Every structure is written in C-alpha cells, then in structure tokens.
Structure 1
Amino acid sequence: MMKKRLVLLLAFVLSIGTILSACSSKESSSSEKEGKNGQSYEIKWYTIGSPQKDTDKVFKEVNKYLKKKINATVKMTQIDWGDWAQKSQVMINSGEPFDIIFTNGTDYVQNAQKGAFLAIDDMLKNEGKELKEVIDPALLEGIKINGKIYGVPTNKEAARQSVYTFNKRLVEKYNLDITKVKTLEDLEPMLKVIKENEPSITPLATFKAYLPYDYIFNNEMPFAFSLEGDRDHVINQFETDLTMETYKTMHKYYKAGYLKEDAATSKDSWPMDVENWFVRMGDLQPYADLLWSRAAKYDVVSVPAEDPTTFNDSVSGAIQAISATSKNPKKAMEFLNLLNTDPYLRNLVDKGIEGVHYEKNEDGTIKDLPARIDNYNVPTYSLGNHFVLYLYENDPKDKWDKFKEFNESAKPAPTLGFHFNSDPVRSEIASITNISKEFYPALATGSVDPEEYLPKYNKKLKEAGIDKVLKEIQKQFDEWKSKQK
C-alpha cells in the first residue's frame, strides 16, 4: 500500500513538472513574440534615404496601427545616400543589436554569407506566409544563397531590359525612325544628323556599350556567361569577337565626335533634367518613359536593346534583411509581412498621412501635397511591395498589371540564383579589379583603339591569374547547377 502511494505521489510530481514546463515554454514563446510580459516590442529598422522632417509624425500613425495589429512599434532610422555604405557596414560589423536593414546586390550576398543576416525560409512559412503568396517567385529564387533566403525583396519589376532612350523632341524635329534601331551600329545615321545640326547637344551621353552577357560581378570585370548560345560556361567576354566589334564601333563614334572628349574620365552623371544629350542607355520598366519624362520635364522615348531578362542584380536591387542580432526576428517578420500585404500600412510608410502629405481623388488615385514633396519624400523602391501602392492621378490604370506581365515575359539569366564565393581567389580578383579599372572605361567609351588595347588588357588579365578565377567560377557554377531541380 505504501509503495502504491509513493508511485502515485511520484506520478503527481512529474505531472506538475510537465505542466509547469509547458507553461514556461508557452510563456517563453509568448515573450519572444510579444516582448517581455506581453509588452509591445520596438522594431529597430535602418533604411537608405535622406532623413525627412516628418518621419516621426508619420511613424506616430504607423505605430498606432502596428500596436493594434501585431503589438509592436517601429523606429525607422534613415541614413543618407552618401553615408549609407560605410555606416551600414559599421553597424553590421560591430554586432549592433537591431532588427531590419535595407540591403542589396553584393552587400546582401557578402553579409548573408558571413552570417550577418538570418535565413528566413521557416518564417516565410509562418509569420511571413501571406508575404510569400504575393511576392514574385523569381525574386525569392534569385536572392537565394546556398539554397536559403536571407531577406525580403521588394516586389516590383524583377526583370531588366536595356534600352536606348532618345530625346523625343529631337527625334520628331528630324523625323528619325528609331523603330529601326536594333543594334549600336543602327544609331550612326541619327548621331550624324544631331552632330551636324545641334552644336549644343552631345549625340551620345557618356555610356558604356551594351553587350549581351550575364556578369558575375559587373560589366567591367572579365567574367560572364553568354545570354545566347552556350549559357553553361563562363568566359572572359573581352576575348570575344563581339566585344571587339562593339568597341570598334564605339571608337569610330568617339573619333567622329559623338561622345565627349573626356568620356572615359568624366564624372558627369548626365541628369535627365538637363537637355544636353540625344541618346543614352537605360534599364526599362513598364511605362518608364512616362516616369523619366516627368522627371526630366521634357519627353523621352525608348526602344529595346535586349529582351527582358531576370538577373541576380535585378532581383536583389532592394531587400529588407533581418539582422542576426535581432532580439525578436519573428516580430520583425510579422512587420515585414504586414508592410508588404497591407495597403494602408504600405502607403502610409511610403506616401505619408492622407490629407497631410497627399490627398485621394474620388477614383482612388492620389496626388502629392507640398508636405509630401518637402517633408516626407522617401525612396519608394527601397521599402516594399509596389503592387499595393496607390496610383497617381496621371498613372496608367493598368500600371501594376503591366509590371506583372513584364516580369512574366522575362527569361532567367544563366546565373540567376548563383552567387560566387570569391574567397579562394581573393588576391587574383583584387589584381584583376585594378587592371579593369585601368582599361575598361577607355575601351567601353571608345576613347582608345580596341585593336591595340584589348590585346594589352587580356595579356595583363592572364598575368593576374584570370584562368584560375575562371576555373573556380566554373567549378562552383557546375556544383550549383547540379543541385537545381
């Protein structure tokens, strides 16, 4: 009898321990999600852009909404464009505790590879499941690092299409048929007309000639996959006949005076609002000409130089990453989920307060008020899903539908989703980078004779170890390719 009572007592104690353990686990889970003792959690968010006068005013409204929705508030800190690269990296390298940070391109890849950002695949199935349903799958696929996703890409145009953009006034003045322009060589008759008749206009705004390649780093570095033909082997594009012929054309244009004499060294950015150019290179998105014309205050018109293609850099242009130092990554993901799926929150963060920064028309379109332009002008591209943003009154009604069609029409680049780890060839790449800076600007702007300088360039690349780098890129690419479904 005594033995039976002891057994029952032991079972009772164990059951109490299990209950307490479960309660403790539940409280721990609740604490992680809500903050200590169910208190609201403050999300620290760093993003790019000039600090705005009305940020605190806008986020006071943001936080009223978030408190009700997810029991959280957000402290958004904007870091100016010129300071961003240095200050953001210092924060990351120092291990400063924060929750979300804007990132893109190479910075995203390198910081993800070194563990500065959290992989969010599991959170996208839970706290971010609505977000995952609306975001373009190509964006998520393109930012994977070793099969994992380390940030939330901005849902916008996922593809890139290089175009020749023309000053429409000059096109119409000289009755030029730009629909015939398919290649760089097709520009020649038009450039001649502008050169002879418009002394204040530079026919070719300083740009680097377009070449149809998918670049491992950028178009200045000699590592690329062809968009046509053999898409499975990395090459030095500066050894191809296509590059030689393209640069010969550019050199011909340079000698004819179609580019500025200092094209290779000029720091001019050729802003749209200065009408001193005839044709330039750009990257298209749907209705881009309307956007550019609005910014320039005169009309421009574009024709494609290539088909739409989804590249790594076109999908990684704007990403919100969750820091490995975040004290509550699930709450950060709840916010990102809401920011990208809730039209009220997304427009509040982007456009400001209705009636203060913008006003809404009867048809649901909006127009900016002076306070939006002067006191709360944030970079839309960096913040989140574009497809839930209100349209402006002069926007085409089908704007976002056209963006989706544009994305769906694009073909993937050969390396979409492949991110090269340069550690095994770091010293070679450092040398090659310096050599490329020496040769590329002059060659790409036609400032030197490619028949003389391309062989010199390639000889120096060989001496710097380009073959070793090409071999390493091919090895990693083949390994990555073998794991694709």
Structure 2
Amino acid sequence: MKNKKVLVCLLTAAMTLGLTACGGESKSQSKKEKNEGYDQVTYAYATFNNIPAEEDLDTVEEAINEITRKKIHTEVTLMPIAIADYSNKVSLALQGGEKIDVYQSMGDFNNYVSTDMAYDITDLLKEEGEGIVDTVGEDWLAACSKEGHTYGVPTMKPVALTPMVIYREDIAEEMGIDMSAVSSMEDMTDILKKVKESYPNMTPVAPVQTGEIGVSVNYGEIDFLTDDRYSPVGVLEGDQLEVEDLYSSDVFREKCELVRGWYEDGLVMKDAATTTSMAAELMSSGNYFCYIAAYSYPEEDTAASLQQQCGTYPIGAKIIGDAYLSTADLNGLSWMIASTTDVPEAAMKFLDLTYTDKDVINLLIYGIEGRDYVMNDDGTVSYPEGEDASTVPYTAQLSCGTLGNFFLMHPMEGTNPDSLEWEKEQNETAKTSPAMGFTFDSDSVKTQYTAVKNVISQYLPGLICGSLDPDTEVDKFVQALNDAGYQEILKAKQEQLDTWAEGQK
C-alpha cells in the first residue's frame, strides 16, 4: 500500500459552529421527507480542511448515496464539522436530540459512554458489522469496551503517533539550517530566532489548531488514561502505575516556560490560544515557518502529503520524539453510534462501508474525481493543476487517519510504497503504557469532571501557547483545579487502576 496520509493529532477545543452550515438537522429532515423509502443516516465527521459550500457537499453526498441506496437501502447526510468545534458541537447536538446517527469520539470516548450518548453496538457488530470486525480485529475492539459491552470502533490506521516539526524546507535550505540535528522542541528555539531575524514579518510557529502549538504531543512517555490528550485529568508517567497530576509536574512547567519564551520573543502566533485558523491554512499563506504535531507516518510521507495541503511551498518533516502507545491511542479516535439514533441497523451498515468499501471512503476523503482530485498514471492522486486543499470545492484529506479504513484510501502523490512496513513496525515496537487496556469510568465523579474541564479550558490553552505567564498562572491553575474537585478524580482513577492491575495478575 502506497498511501501514507496525515493524521493531525490533534486535537480539540470547544468553539461554536452552526449545525445548519454543516448539513445539520433541517437538511436531514427535508431529505427524509423526500425519500421515505430509504433509511436516513446522518454522519458527523471532523475535518481539518475547509467546510465546503452546501452545493459542493451535496455532490459528494449524492455520489455516496448512489452506492448506499443499492447496497444498504440507506441515504446519508454528510455533516463535516471543523475540528476546533467538533467535540462541543456534537455533544450539544446529542444532548439536544438533534439528528446525528454516526459520530467519532475525538478523545471523548469515556465521556460519551458515561453520559449515555453512545449506543451499545455489541450485537449490531455481529449482525451488521462483520466487515468491521474482520478489518479491525477483536483486540482493537476491546479498547472500545466497557464491562463487556462494545461502544465504539477504532479507526483502522497506523496508531503509533510520533511528534514532528513540519517546516518550510526552502527557508531551511536558504538559511543553512540543519533540521537533522533537531530532536526536541527545545532544539527549535535558536532556529526560530534565526528565522525571525531573517524574516521579521514572518511568524515562525503556527498553531496546529486552537490552543495547541505542539506541547501536548511532546510530554514524553505519558499515558492520558483515556482522557483527551488536550485536556487530560490525571496521567501516568513511564512505567509507573501511579496516577499523577500533570499540571504540577516539572515537565509541564518546563514546557510552559519554553513556549512562554517563544511568545515573548514573537516566535509564535499571539492569539494561538483562541484562533480558529489551523496549520494547513496558515502554512499555505506563506507567513509561517513551521508547526508541531504528531503523525503515524514516516517523515518523507508526512511531508509529501502535507505538501498537497500547503500550496507551492516545499514542506519538510522532522521527527522530534518517540511514539508511545496507550488505550487512548485506539479508542481516542473511534466511531460511535448515537444512543438517540432511530436507525441503528442502517447506521452500522454505513459505518461498516467506511471500513470495507473503497469508493465510499475515497469519496468521503477526496470528493469527486476530476473536480476535487485527479488520479495519476501511477495510481496516486493529487489536486487538479493550479489547485490545492484550500481551493478545491471539497476535500477532507487531512482527516484521512480519522475516518474508517485508512488502508483503502488512494495514495497521495509523492508517498513512499515502502512506508507501510515502517508503520507496521512502529505499531509493533513503540513503547506501550503499562496500563494498556485500562479504561477509566468517570460516572462517580461526573460533577467534578465538568468543573475541572471548565478550569482546564480557562487556563491550559494560554499556558501551552505562551500567552499566560507560568510563573504566576500555573499555581493559580492548580489551585483552581483542586477547588473544582481535581483530587477526587485522581483518587477515583487510582482506585480503578489498582483494581484493574490486580485483575491482570
């Protein structure tokens, strides 16, 4: 398999986006009225690319429905939602009873299960999801289970995420910067200063998404214990089975101090903590030198795929850390069926197609051949001449590692056919958390979780983007966490972890 595309790790802060702009409930209802003979499934997926115009989205939707009407007697409404808005928007929609049938967890697996937003798909998988079971396997499905019941399906993809710097290769070559010598975030400081000196109107570091410039993927051997890595509550470090407070740790303060220095020196976007602009858009503007994220592909393939997103500027990629696997690496990007769905069988049938039908998954990722992408003679795909990800009517290419079966997707131009073996090796050899398989049940601390998450959203983006001074704000952050019930959550996690560990003996 040649296709090595990019998964931006991302992940997510809560913003606002109108559902109707994403193909929301009113669109689903009107379709249902017109096509009473077919089951209606609304598929909500996160995109790191632009939200397409409704008429352009409709074209892709109809192409998919030409397949699903025949295969599963179902019509699908596509609901792409910007990654920065995804978790909050989906949660609000599910709580409000709006029409979403299939959605992805994006780091919130435990929350969706504990708040009864997820359908128990144990029996549905046996009846309508055989393709998923055969593709993903029982071991991976076990990471999406609770008390013997399955609530999600992991995305089929390389899972060992490796932190990287994505940078302007032309600028690095022009300035004689040796990126091969970079092995950590800290190594980037002098480079960023040199870029700023030579290009005073350029901002060296772009955020990868709202409130994230790379800190969350560079803590090292940290298991977030099935929390969202972008707002974790209680973690493990290294080989220890002791739940720790990340925000009081030396590693957290050191990273905050590092990016604070970048911020004060003008090396990072000033409003990175709140901007809705994302890395691909910012890099394609030509006003940024680099960004930091995590990917599960080799440097060469990561750069080649991102080159398609960032216009005419040559892109390079440099690994700056090691992969580290935990349960959340499997269930953090998992697909779920809403507990409120009125068409669970149809929802599972369509979800199964995203893992087994090459035409369906490539329509979701690339859109319409000839309009949104072109097929090259060697079997790879690229954007039409003169176009890129920001100009074609539809693309969700940057979501390739988050939708269905990655290995059925067309390879992007410039990728290396030998990379699959590298990815398999990474999955097999990456260091694994001692708590692999553990899933935290937050039912007993729901109130505290809500309060703590609110505190995290108030402080964390500013601290890890440099706009808040760690010398004064970290202590305030920790105190506010404790006032919100943080220690009660840590205690509950430790108790459950101890019980789980005892059962592994």
What TM-score do the two structures reach when normalised by structure 2? 0.72
| Corresponding residue to 1:46 among 37, 43, 47 | 43
Matched residues in 2 for 1:345 and 1:254: separation? 43
Which position in structure 1 is the counterpart of 2:319?
304
Of the structure 1 ranges 235-244 and 55-64, higher mean CA displacement relative to structure 2 is found in 55-64
Q: Which of the pair has more CA radius of gyration?
A: 1
- Equivalent positions of 1:297-376 (< 5 A) are 297=311, 298-316=313-331, 318-326=333-341, 329-348=344-363, 350-351=365-366, 360-367=375-382, 374-376=392-394
* CA spacing shift, 1:478–1:364, aligned 2, 3 Å: same
CA contact (8 A) 1:247 1:446 kept: yes
Which position in structure 2 is the counterpart of 1:165?
166
Which position in structure 1 is the counterpart of 2:440?
420
Which position in structure 2 is the counterpart of 1:73?
74
**For each residue in 1:153-200, what CA deviation from the matched residue of structure 2 results, as whole angstroms up to 9, or x when unmatched?**
332232322222332222212222222222333233323423433312
* CA spacing shift, 1:174–1:317, aligned 2, 3 Å: same
- Equivalent positions of 1:443-482 (< 5 A) are 443-447=463-467, 450-482=470-502
Which position in structure 2 is the counterpart of 1:239?
248
**Secondary structure of 2:55 counterpart:** coil
How far 1:355 sits from its partner (Å)? 6.4
Asked whether 1:389 is paired with 2:391, we answer no
**Secondary structure of 2:293 counterpart:** strand
**Secondary structure of 2:42 counterpart:** strand
Structure (1 or 2) with the greater helix fraction: 1
The letter of the residue matching 2:307 is S
How far 1:316 sits from its partner (Å)? 4.2
- Equivalent positions of 1:172-191 (< 5 A) are 172-191=173-192
Task: Tell me which of the two structures has the higher relative contact order, counting C-alpha pairs closer than 8 angstroms and 6 or more residues apart.
Answer: 2
The letter of the residue matching 2:42 is W
CA contact (8 A) 1:309 1:413 kept: yes
The letter of the residue matching 1:293 is Q
Matched residues in 1 for 2:85 and 2:204: separation? 34
CA contact (8 A) 1:102 1:318 kept: no
**Secondary structure of 1:44 counterpart:** strand
CA contact (8 A) 1:118 1:150 kept: yes
**Secondary structure of 1:272 counterpart:** helix
- Unmatched tracts of structure 2, length 5 or more: 1-35, 46-50, 208-212
**For each residue in 1:32-66, what CA deviation from the matched residue of structure 2 results, as whole angstroms up to 9, or x when unmatched?**
xxxxxxx9752423323646435555555545544
The letter of the residue matching 2:430 is A
Which position in structure 2 is the counterpart of 1:23?
none
Which position in structure 1 is the counterpart of 2:307?
293
**Secondary structure of 1:159 counterpart:** coil
**Secondary structure of 1:238 counterpart:** helix
CA contact (8 A) 1:251 1:446 kept: yes
CA contact (8 A) 1:138 1:315 kept: no
The letter of the residue matching 1:340 is Y
* CA spacing shift, 1:125–1:176, aligned 2, 3 Å: same
How far 1:338 sits from its partner (Å)? 3.5
**For each residue in 1:113-133, what CA deviation from the matched residue of structure 2 results, as whole angstroms up to 9, or x when unmatched?**
343433223343443223222
% identical equivalent positions: 27
* CA spacing shift, 1:224–1:137, aligned 2, 3 Å: farther
CA contact (8 A) 2:53 2:393 kept: no
CA contact (8 A) 2:195 2:204 kept: yes
Which position in structure 2 is the counterpart of 1:214?
223
Matched residues in 1 for 2:235 and 2:247: separation? 12
* CA spacing shift, 1:185–1:79, aligned 2, 3 Å: closer
CA contact (8 A) 1:162 1:281 kept: yes
Asked whether 1:277 is paired with 2:273, we answer no
Which position in structure 2 is the counterpart of 1:198?
199
How far 1:92 sits from its partner (Å)? 3.1
CA contact (8 A) 2:102 2:351 kept: no
- Root-mean-square deviation (CA, aligned residues, Å) is 3.9
| Corresponding residue to 2:235 among 206, 222, 225 | 225
Which position in structure 1 is the counterpart of 2:395?
377
How far 1:471 sits from its partner (Å)? 0.7
CA contact (8 A) 1:159 1:315 kept: no
- Unmatched tracts of structure 1, length 5 or more: 1-38
CA contact (8 A) 2:103 2:337 kept: no
CA contact (8 A) 2:202 2:288 kept: yes
